[in-house]
Amino acid sequence: MDHHRTPLFTALRKHAAGNPVQFHIPGHKKGVGMDPEFSDFIGQNALSIDLINIAPLDDLHQPKGVIEEAQKLAADAFKADYTFFSVQGTSGAIMTMIMSVCSEGDKIIVPRNIHKSVMSAIIFVGAKPIFLSPYRDKNLGIDHGVTTRSVRKALQAHPDAKAVLVINPTYYGVCANLKEIVDIVHDHNIPVLVDEAHGALLPFHDDLPISAMEAGADMAATSIHKLGGSLTQSSVLNVKAGRINPKRVQTIISMLTTTSTSYILLASLDAARRNLALNGREMAEKAIRLATYARGAINEIPGLSCFGDDILGTEYAFDHDPTKINVHVRHLGITGYDAENWLREHYNIEVEMSDLYNILCFITPGDTEETVDTLISALRHMSELNYNIKTANELIVEIPEIPQLILTPRDAFYGDTEVIPFKESADRIIAEFIYVYPPGIPILLPGEVISQENIDFIMNHVDVGLPVKGPEDRTIQNIKVIVESPAIF
Ligand SMILES: Cc1ncc(COP(=O)(O)O)c(C=O)c1O
């Protein structure tokens, strides 16, 4: 296919150049009817292609023109049979994957450290999650992927499961043996769904881990906006023919998508695909080279370390994306949060994420020697100020057992609930989520039985001021649980 073409972006430019008189939304009409400071800042070019699904510009909900062409080119670039553009991020694409293969009451095998969109879809559809425990890295205080063995065991225990979802790569760039997982799951003749939010560059360079489509997965939700150069919120859902009905996928993604799709976002996907298809190898090469340089330099800094291929060789760490730089800061006697704040305050550096022990930095095709050198110098300075001055923090990586799921998450979420003090909620069924950071894993999900161990673990986090998220009561004083009717004697 001719990847120099950008059917949608070109059609938008052509349409805007004709300067049509518009009697349709958006009502700002090329910026005239909007706040002048904002329109000046955003610029005329962007405003002129802020358009809608008028006939020459096709319709994402039923594409048969330039959007269909753009999606076909994307499918070719991402080695898929079908590609659907998402203007609802990878969250929307993940929800579509699950809702396309599960119906009410169906089981789906998922890792416990899922993104919240997975649980949203499970609630909407009324499915029953079967959890796989991710491998907990006791040296770094982070979680990696699930093991091939755990997938095999889950399928043996739940042969009636309708699909398996895996995260590949993890936020930290670690990959299980995806190809082997796909083969195991396909032996049961059910589809593999991949959360590939952090894997947009994978299909374009051999030194990166295998992409979901290349591994033979049936569907993959990929954030092109995260690493592939499109605008925030724009992602793709890649589909392989066979176990998945693409017409069903089109129906579901359409049900989950706004009718006022942003053509700026869609055009950015079309253009990002062109760039990746034509230059993806060089783009990935640059990111890998800069990240390798950064990793080497950071590993020379006293008190800091940054894993790379040294992590490989286990079942949970079969491959690694070198462009994810996880800097372990514990030996400086500071937390990841301290490091994040210090870098912001003193060097105007913003990292991707931090936790108790680490900061995570993404090196992408958008980086240069200069940006990487700024990070390295800042980290050197941070080490000089702290190494051998503060005592290394103790690494505490513990998490309560996965609780028992008594109700489906949907039955609990929509059930009859009452609000009670969290500290008195042992043995009750929770109707909300509670996530604790680090490591960002849900501790309690709707439908699970709260244990005293859960309460103590969560309260320890609250007491030391660590982020605990999810419940409607943000102070975590009170919690929503399912109403219990006491027995009448
Ligand atoms: C592992 C993972 N999956 C899914 C998502 C959702 O992606 P998006 O923000 O594109 O909706 C994220 C976002 O950070 C993520 O980290």
Q: Mind listing the pLDDT tens digit for each residue in 429-474?
A: 999 999 876 556 789 999 999 999 999 989 988 887 778 889 999 9
Give residue 1's pLDDT band: very low, low, confident or very high (50, 70, 90).
Answer: very high
Output 440 or 149, whichever has higher pLDDT: 149
Sheet hosting strand 358-362, strand order edge to edge: 305-306, 324-328, 358-362, 353-354
Q: Are 316 and 173 in contact (CB under 8 A)?
A: no
Select the more confidently predicted residue: 163 or 440.
Answer: 163
Helix (H, G, I), strand (E, B) or coil at 391: coil
What is the per-residue pLDDT for 168? 95
At 438 the pLDDT is 56
Q: Is 235 close to ligand 1, i.e. is its CB under 6 Å away? A: yes
pLDDT at 96: 98
pLDDT in the model for residue 296: 98
Probe ligand 1: pick from 87, 115, 166, 202, max atoms within 8 Å of CB?
Answer: 115
Q: Is 195 in the pocket of ligand 1 (CB under 6 A)?
A: yes
pTM (2 decimals)?
A: 0.95
For residue 230 and ligand 1, the question of a CB distance below 6 A is answered with no
- The finding on whether 173 has its CB within 6 A of some atom of ligand 1 is no
pLDDT in tens, 371-387: 999 999 999 999 999 99
Residue range 84-101: average pLDDT? 98
Q: Which pair of tokens denotes residue 203?
A: 């299909």
pLDDT level of residue 398 (50, 70, 90 thresholds): confident
Coil, strand or helix at 122: helix
SS3 state at 266: helix
Atom number of ligand 1 nearest to Cα 93: 11
The pLDDT of residue 465? 75
The rounded Å distance from CA 226 to ligand 1 centre is 9
Query: Does pLDDT of 35 surpass 70?
Result: yes
* Cis-peptide into 439, omega within 30 deg: yes
Distance from the alpha carbon of residue 169 to the mean position of ligand 1, in angstroms: 12
Distance of CA 377 to the CA centre of its chain: 30
On the 0-12 / 13-18 / 19+ scale of CB atoms within 10 A, 175 is buried
Parallel/antiparallel/unpaired status of strands 235-239 and 219-222: antiparallel
Segment 224-250 shows an average pLDDT of 97
> Which pLDDT score, from 0 to 100, does residue 326 have?
97
| 89 CB within 6 A, ligand 1 | yes
Which residues are 107's β-sheet partners? 128
Does residue 198 surpass a pLDDT of 90? yes
For ligand 1, is residue 120 a contact (CB within 6 Å)? no
- Ligand 1 atom with minimal separation from the 94 CA: 4
Tell whether ligand 1 has an atom less than 6 A from the beta carbon of residue 86. no
Residue carrying the six token digits 């996965």: 402
Ligand 1 pocket test target in 84, 86, 91, 113 with most atoms within 8 Å of CB: 91
Is pLDDT above 90 for 393?
no
pLDDT band at residue 223 under the 50/70/90 scheme: very high
68-72, 150-154, 395-399, 423-427: which range is least confident on average? 395-399
Would you tell me the crossing angle of helices 336-347 and 369-386 to the nearest 10 degrees?
120
Q: How far is Cα 235 from Cα 88, in angstroms, rounded to an integer?
A: 7
Nearest alpha carbon to residue 88 among 199, 226, 236: 236
Evaluate: CB of 143 within 6 angstroms of ligand 1. no
Cα separation of 336 and 210, whole Å?
30
Q: What is the pLDDT of residue 137?
A: 86
CB of residue 132 inside a 6 A radius of ligand 1: no
Per-residue model confidence (pLDDT) at position 399: 74
pLDDT band at 139 (very low <50, low <70, confident <90, very high): confident
**CA-proximal residue: ligand 1, atom 12 (nearest):** 197
* Mean pLDDT taken over the chain: 95
- Which atom number of ligand 1 is nearest to the Cα of residue 225? 10
Supply the residue whose CA is at minimum distance from atom 15 of ligand 1.
197
Residues 6+ apart with CB under 8 A from 86: 92, 93, 96, 221, 234, 235, 236, 237, 253, 257
CB of 481 sitting under 6 A from ligand 1: no
pLDDT confidence of residue 440: 65
CB within 8 Å of 289: residues ≥ 6 apart: none
Q: How far apart are CA 185 and CA 182, in angstroms?
A: 5
Ligand 1 centroid to residue 188 C-alpha, Å = 28
Q: Where are the alpha helices (DSSP H) in 188-324?
A: 224-227, 246-255, 263-299
pLDDT of res. 439 = 57
196 Cβ below 6 A of ligand 1: no
Residue partners of 384: CB distance under 8 A and separation at least 6: none
pLDDT of residue 395: 77
Which is nearest to 261 in space by CA: 21, 15, 57, 117? 57
Please indicate whether residue 88, judged by its CB atom, sits closer than 6 Å to ligand 1: no
Q: What's the gap in Å between 182 CA and the centre of ligand 1?
A: 21
Q: Tell me: pLDDT of 402 over 90.
A: no
